Amino acid sequence: MVADVLTQPRTESLPETWSLWRYRHVAGLLRRGGRPSDSLIDLGCGAGNVTRFLADELGISRVVGVEEDPVQIREARRLGLEVRAASLLDESLPERIAERFPERFQVALLGDVLHHLTGRTIEDSFRRVRRVLAAAAALLEKGGTLIVAEPVYRCRWLRDGTYHLKRTVSRWRRGRLELGPRWLNVGPPVVRFFDRRELLALIEGSGLRVEAVVESDHQRLAGVFARGRITLLAQPARSTSSESGRSTATATRSPERR
């Protein structure tokens, strides 16, 4: 999902175990819920390590990744994954996938993808997110499960400030401007993070029903909760449902990562 010249080499140098701690609980969630998981499509699969991990953990035989970065595609294929080169923002994506894979999928994954779907404004970013969520729902078979995993921020000024700062710097700088260790930077890639309420509203406004919410990895800034992670399991909503827009999802909290 990222293609700037300074992020890409860092991504290529990461070990195959990178980021797996964020997804270890997902396999357990699917098992405990008794959800079918014989086929998986990972939308924005990147280098494929999470895709490969979930496929192995759940014993999934039919696994497909979708990615547009050729370097990431090469890495994912090196792990034995079948990867389709496509943009998630392609309006014909569900049809293109269906041409190659007529059977729909039991599980679709959007892992750390939605905050990268930025447009010229925040509302434009939300429209992109809703388009990709609707595409993911269209790829699921009846009773299938969409997994959405995202970092979340409680402070509005931090969410919106990060977006506007990175967009401003990216106008005059092609690559990331490092501010410290790990992923602390400004400039490209421009991202727009969500809070819990926004993410739930975007998912439920895209024809999906949230069934489970897991929050974890809380981090504090000056004694106040600043960011964490959220994993949501959702299914396409029944068209005949007369329920209100209020989510009836079960919420759990996994142990904070030290």
- The per-residue pLDDT for 151 is 87
CA atoms within 13 A on the CB side of 103: 9
What is the value of pTM for the model shown? 0.80
Averaged pLDDT for residues 126-154: 93
- Which band of pLDDT confidence, cut at 50, 70 and 90, is reported for residue 241? very low
SS3 131: helix
* DSSP letter (8 states) at residue 30: H
The strand pairing partners of 227, in sequence order, are: 153, 219
- Which band of pLDDT confidence, cut at 50, 70 and 90, is reported for residue 9? very low
- Which band of pLDDT confidence, cut at 50, 70 and 90, is reported for residue 242? very low
Within a 10 A sphere around the Cβ of 35, how many other Cβ atoms? 18
What is the token pair recorded at 78?
């090196």
Distance CA 99, CA 89 (A): 17
Residue of 54, 43, 101, 112 whose CA lies nearest to 79: 54
More confident call, 10 vs 60 = 60
What pLDDT, in 10s, does the model give residues 178-210? 655 554 555 556 778 888 999 999 999 999 999
Query: Residue 106, exposed/middle/buried by CB under 10 A (0-12, 13-18, 19+)?
Result: buried
Q: What angle do CA 213, 215, 218 make, to 5 degrees?
A: 165
SS3 letters across 179-238: CCCCCCEECCCCCCCECHHHHHHHHHCCCEEEEEEEEEEEEEECCEEEEEEEEEEEEECC
- The per-residue pLDDT for 249 is 53
